[in-house]
Amino acid sequence: MTHHLISGGAGFIGANLATSLLKDGHRVLAIDDLSRGRIETIHHLTNNPNFDFRQADCADRDALDAAIGEAEGITDVWHMAANSDIPAGIADPRIDLHQTFMTTFAILEVMKAREIPNLHFASSSAIYGDFGETMIHEDIGPLLPISNYGAMKLASEAQIRAAVEAFLSRADIFRFPNVIGVPATHGVILDFVHKLRNTPEELQVLGNGTQQKAYLHVDDLVRAMRHIAEIPGRYQLFNIGPTDDGVTVSMIAETVRDVASPSASIIFGEESRGWVGDVPRFRYSVDRLINTGWEPSLSSQEAVQRAVAEIVAQEMGR
């Protein structure tokens, strides 16, 4: 049994990770400011004696340190806290500065002071920017993020790399594409479900629907992160994703429509990008991870199908 701190522990990924770690008998301290995470996501864990939750802003070093308080023997921090609203971060760069980067910065300061050795970081495919048809592997360059979210994830990676040089024993960097599943708090599937709940006869889609992306189900993501955390090494950089090239926004729109409101018509926009900072197409190599013996259980298409069913059930109670 080891003791794990999860920042963003009431968020979509953090809550799934906490459930997984607890299932294997580990202790978990989840910290979340509840600005985006919701306490409901971890209600099923609160009776577990190995689980603790504390509300704090992880970007505030002193508040974070106070939240950890007397918790003992923490060896691993899983840093999942971040802004998850990319367009909001483009409108106001202070959002990603605070929620995506300063969380990393303050967590590193607390880890140094408390001598916590291991960091596992939720980075993003957004650090790469737009490589068009080029297959994106971990060592590609130059890194040209086109959103403040991607910029502040890259800034976080850089600060973590310097910390490995100075004091951390180990850091894993997980770069992942869109992750889907429940409890959904944001994302394209949830948006579509909400739109169809409001206007069941029509689904308006930002962009022309041809944007194609890889989607990973959160169950596969958690399995991959925990797999990587077991690989010996000092600084590990892994793309995590399915092995396919992804699915289009129009496929997602159709899947949601078919489940949530079969008679609705789908109306597309004209832009190839949904918003500034949206990468229209994207080929993502997970060969490095596959070569370590991990493989996804679901393709992008299967992940979308499962997540749509889960999210419609969550939002519409069916």
Residue placing its CB nearer to a copy of itself in the complex, 14 or 129: 129
In the block, residue with structure tokens 């059930």 = 313
Q: Could you give the CA distance from residue 318 to residue 315 in angstroms, rounded to a whole number?
A: 8
| DSSP character at residue 102 | I
50: three-class secondary structure by DSSP = coil
Options 237, 251, 266, 309; binder of a copy of itself; rule CB under 8 A = 237
Q: Does 90 participate in binding a copy of itself (rule CB under 8 A)?
A: yes
235 counts as binding a copy of itself under rule CB under 8 A: yes
The tokens of 61 are what? 């070093």
| The amino acid at 29 | L
Q: Which of 83, 84, 123, 147 binds a copy of itself (CB under 8 A)?
A: 147
**Chain CA centroid to CA 37, Å:** 12
Q: How far is the CB of 153 from a copy of itself (least distance, A)?
A: 8
Residue 64 lies near a copy of itself (rule: CB under 8 A) = no
- Count other Cβ atoms within 10 Å, centred on residue 291: 8
Q: Which of 139, 201, 230, 270 binds a copy of itself (CB under 8 A)?
A: 139
Cβ closer to a copy of itself: 22 or 163? Answer: 163
Residues between 253 and 282 with contacts to a copy of itself, criterion CB under 8 A = 276-277
CA torsion, ordered 230, 29, 173, 151, to nearest 10 deg? 170
* Options 166, 263, 270, 293; binder of a copy of itself; rule CB under 8 A: 166
Residue carrying the six token digits 């991870």: 289
d(CA 85, CA 60): 20
Query: Among 148, 239, 300, 305, which residue interacts with a copy of itself (rule: CB under 8 A)?
Result: 148
Size of the site for a copy of itself (CB under 8 A): 35
Alpha-carbon gap, residue 112 to 98, rounded angstroms: 20
Interacting residues with a copy of itself (CB under 8 A)? 90, 93, 97, 101, 105, 108-109, 127, 129, 138-148, 150-152, 154-155, 158-159, 161-162, 165-166, 235, 237, 276-277
